[in-house]
Structure 1
């Protein structure tokens, strides 16, 4: 177990925190939903029913969508753009040294097969993140439409279709307020790593590295 945690500690801790905090989101969202329902003399929901509600899935999809957009954009942009001095950038072309020898061991299967499999695999990270973004976008849309129609029914207003909700200012306001914050975070990370350090972190340059040093 010690060796497993040493080799996989980052994923174990981050995914464990994800499960813990998603559970906390569900419980607090359930409480907030029922408090609002009681204030308006509407029926409260059990936890199981709440986990199937638009209120829960709208909030979940809205946040997952912005995170996967951030990571997909980060992967694609850092493949093509530079930021002098940033640990989040590849070294500038004039600063690149001789390439390091390839790691020992056999390459992944798609690389060994070559052709279209290798070509697809060479972009598999960004493609997968974009697919996860698209799935989360749909989850946000479906959950948001359900929640919008629940609110509309409570106020005696007609329901709207999922397509109509897609074209609404409400849906895009929810999306844009999350998307802008993700790009702010990426930009802040790119700039702050020029001047600041965190000893031992893979996201930081060495503490002794000059500010103009680019890459990790």
Structure 2
């Protein structure tokens, strides 16, 4: 049962998709002929991270992370590395094996390297474009940051700076309210004292 495009006449130099790829979509992607391990080689599923606006293959590229059905090696504590995400389901129609997004391999390719999947029955040769879930996509973005420490540190730095600025503004607002309240209390006390000490009418 065919689970991918891989049409006999497929050529990675000629575009075969019918619409501009978008984030979360999954394609079969032909990687570079001269790729060497541990680079990804051959023909792999890939989750689109940054899509294209048009089908102009001369100018458009997409950014993706590869997906594999071969379970990655776990660390000494039995956990996957923080840059690998196990998808909630295999995006390949009809394939029930586990699949993992390898998020420290962020790659850029032209549109002609993308090919769609066959539908799960594989009978009518209908080509489709599956998507990963929103939760899986958000987890992939987090894993990309984990795989690129400089990006993760940049995010943390921006987050800390934004929090410090927010706390500073909050403190300034509290001090302003306290000052306004003190002025209002002083004014009220003066009005009461003025009323109490005002000479009574003869």
TM-score over 0.5 for the pair:
no
Structure with max Cα Rg: 2
- TM norm structure 1: 0.21
Of Structure 1 and Structure 2, the greater helix share is in 1
